[in-house]
Chain A
Amino acid sequence: GAGVSQSPSNKVTEKGKDVELRCDPISGHTALYWYRQRLGQGLEFLIYFQGNSAPDKSGLPSDRFSAERTGESVSTLTIQRTQQEDSAVYLCASSHQRTGQETQYFGPGTRLLVL
């Protein structure tokens, strides 16, 4: 597609439920990133994929968070047993390479609300 897409755009769930967030990066981009943005805050890095491998998972806040990428394309971020503090916008970005100089293209985000 023309840009990074994410689904769903909005998700409301109950505390304790699992959620899956999807990211479709720009075709051909080998690097894929997940970030979290709480209301009024900057973005927090969660995880980085190079191809289907995740060499940097340092930002995942707990073992309830996991992510995978298949076919060097689609990525899914899963949050198990959601908590109210998980409420945030989850943003996905992709780029050609993994260097910081490379422009990252962001999707519109998934707004997650945990009740």
Chain B
Amino acid sequence: LAKTTQPISMDSYEGQEVNITCSHNNIATNDYITWYQQFPSQGPRFIIQGYKTKVTNEVASLFIPADRKSSTLSLPRVSLSDTAVYYCLVGGSGNTGKLIFGQGTTLQVKP
């Protein structure tokens, strides 16, 4: 499975837009890009998934450039409750479905 690289931590303030970029230079042709969110003492929760270009749902947007070697998770107008660890994962093409998690990005939203 493709290895991902993302910042270890980020700080933001309430109401700001937060963009977390993930690098995945070795992404395979059929791999999808998926982001999970994890709050303290909870299991990860699916946020968004995409293959190329842009995907938007009620929680976030995901921007994927044409070469697919990186992706950016965009959280609009964050609140204190968005403080969490965000994981970028790449995979899905013919594997068992197991997810390979890196250390993720710890987002701290301040008032």
Contact = CB atoms under 8 A, between A and B. Distances in A.
A, B in one complex: yes
Interface of A: 4, 31, 33, 35, 41-45, 48, 50, 55-56, 59, 91, 93, 95, 97-109
By size class, the interface of chain B is: 20 to 34
Interface centre among B42, B45, B93, B96 (most CB of A within 10 A): B96
Interface of B: 1, 31-32, 34, 41-46, 49, 87, 89, 91-93, 95-104
Given A93-B43, A103-B46, A56 B101 contact: no
A104 B93 CA distance: 15
Contact of B95 (A91, A100, A108): A100
22 contacts: A4-B43, A42-B87, A42-B104, A43-B99, A45-B98, A48-B96, A48-B98, A91-B44, A93-B99, A99-B97, A100-B32, A100-B34, A100-B89, A100-B92, A100-B98, A101-B49, A101-B92, A102-B97, A103-B46, A104-B46, A104-B99, A105-B46
